Amino acid sequence: MPAKPVVFKESDVRRALRAGSKEKFPIDRYEIATDGTIRVFAAPPDTKFGTELDKWLEGHPDAGQAQGRQ
């Protein structure tokens, strides 16, 4: 069975990414459907983005402080 032709262009994806990054809300994800539809989903207002280290440090407030010797 032959592959379906691509119905969107790289420039379409770039345009969607650029538009999403200019908005004032955090982007949760992008979806590109087989029919060429590109959807941009905003993250819920209480969503926190960060690395696993950032999440761990939030739960361990003393871990981020430098420990100096006296």
- pLDDT (tens digit per residue) in 13-61: 888 888 877 777 778 888 988 888 888 888 777 766 677 777 777 787 7
pTM of the model: 0.49
Residue with tokens 């981020």: 64
Domain limits of the chain?
A: 10-59
pLDDT score, position 70: 47
C-beta separation of 44 from 26 below 8 A: no
